[in-house]
Structure 1
Amino acid sequence: MKVILLQDVKNYGKKDQVVEVSDGYAKNYLIPKKLAILATKNDVSHLGVRLKKEQQIMDAKKNVVEQLKNQIESLILNFSLKVKSGKPFGSVSLSQICDRLKKEFSIDLDKRKFEKHDNLVEIGLHYLKIKLDFKIIATLKVQVEGIE
């Protein structure tokens, strides 16, 4: 008997798959526990349409994340630290970076999306990796300058 799984079923398949199971298993376990429904032609066609729509939505979201990645990689954020005797005093925190991105560029990021959670304490150009959705990684350039 062919059924459409409504949830993941161990040893049989994942949600939204059409699988062949024994009649007794389907009638006595899967269908009463609402783990599956019978795979009629109508249900299978509805499943195909729904999966296609979900894929289109996921593709649209992935495009938005790609655009965000391109926007982040085109930026260079500038920060200043006081320098005394050749050593910088203070640091640039991820919270400051996130605040600047939000205020100046309307990019709302969580500081936990950055790969390394260390504050920037050295003068120079820093490349920070940001983990976005869909396993997309963007690289943000942060220039830290010293002022006396």
Structure 2
Amino acid sequence: MKIILTQEVSNLGEPGDIVEVKNGYGRNYLLPQGFAISWSRGAEKQVSQIKRARSIREIRNVDQAQEVKAQLDTLKVTLTERAGDGGRLFGSVTPAEVVSAVQAAGGPALDRRRLQVGSPIKTVGSYQIPVRLHPEVVATVNLDVVASK
């Protein structure tokens, strides 16, 4: 099945890429979740619009990614969350909360989809969260989750 990606999908491609996937994966996951649209000649014309929008918000080159990485590596981000006994959080820390905490700490604006949070953050402590800024550059956000009083 040929599809056009509308969002970044790990190990598959970037927005605007035309990829070939198995029928079930495309029909049951990518299309209903809004990650892709069906390929057609008319839809292929939308690829240029998708790529143009991607280029506006994407980090342009490796040098710019290195600059953002330098900012993130020196930044100390603290996030205050409600926690119970033993430091267990009520809920978990989402990538959107991490992005807003980075901005509040004076860091650059990030796309939440670029954060690679392996498992949900559900306890108080220090975490290092990788951020894919560019295919060749990965920065690390040092996040301290503390309990609110």
TM (norm. structure 2) is: 0.52
CA contact (8 A) 2:78 2:144 kept: yes
Q: Write the deviation string for residues 57-98 of structure 1: whole angstroms up to 9, x where unpaired.
A: xxx932221111010111111112223232322322110111
Q: Say yes or no: does 1:70 pair with 2:59.
A: no
Q: Map 1:38-77 onto structure 2 (within 5 A).
A: 61-77=61-77
Residues in 1 aligned to 2:83 and 2:117: alpha-carbon distance in whole angstroms: 24
What one-letter code is carried by the residue in structure 1 that aligns with 2:64? V
Q: Write the deviation string for residues 27-75 of structure 1: whole angstroms up to 9, x where unpaired.
A: xxxxxxxxxxxxxxxxxxxxxxxxxxxxxxxxx9322211110101111
1:107 — aligned with what? 108
Q: Map 1:1-148 onto structure 2 (within 5 A).
A: 61-86=61-86, 87-105=88-106, 107-116=108-117, 118-148=119-149
What one-letter code is carried by the residue in structure 1 that aligns with 2:99? C
CA contact (8 A) 1:94 1:117 kept: no
Task: Report sequence identity in percent.
Answer: 18
Tell me, which stretches of 5 or more residues in structure 2 are unaligned?
1-59
Q: Could you say what secondary structure the match of 2:108 adopts? A: coil
- Counterparts in 2 of 1:139 and 1:106: CA distance versus 1, 3 Å: closer
Alpha-carbon offset, residue 108 of structure 1: 1.7
CA contact (8 A) 1:93 1:118 kept: no
Alpha-carbon offset, residue 130 of structure 1: 0.6
| Runs of 4 or more consecutive aligned structure 1 residues displaced over 6 Å after TM superposition | none
CA contact (8 A) 2:76 2:105 kept: no
Q: Tell me whether 77-86 or 99-108 shows the greater mean CA deviation.
A: 99-108
What one-letter code is carried by the residue in structure 2 that aligns with 1:142? L
Q: Write the deviation string for residues 100-148 of structure 1: whole angstroms up to 9, x where unpaired.
A: 3334425121111112364421111000001111410101100001234
Residues in 2 aligned to 1:118 and 1:132: alpha-carbon distance in whole angstroms: 20
Q: Tell me whether 94-103 or 124-133 shows the greater mean CA deviation.
A: 94-103
Tell me, which stretches of 5 or more residues in structure 1 are unaligned?
1-59
Q: Calculate the aligned-residue CA RMSD, in Å.
A: 2.2
Residues in 1 aligned to 2:100 and 2:124: alpha-carbon distance in whole angstroms: 20
Residues in 2 aligned to 1:67 and 1:135: alpha-carbon distance in whole angstroms: 13
Residues in 1 aligned to 2:117 and 2:83: alpha-carbon distance in whole angstroms: 24
What one-letter code is carried by the residue in structure 1 that aligns with 2:145? V
**Count of residue pairs the alignment pairs up:** 89
What one-letter code is carried by the residue in structure 2 that aligns with 1:68? V
Residues in 2 aligned to 1:121 and 1:71: alpha-carbon distance in whole angstroms: 26
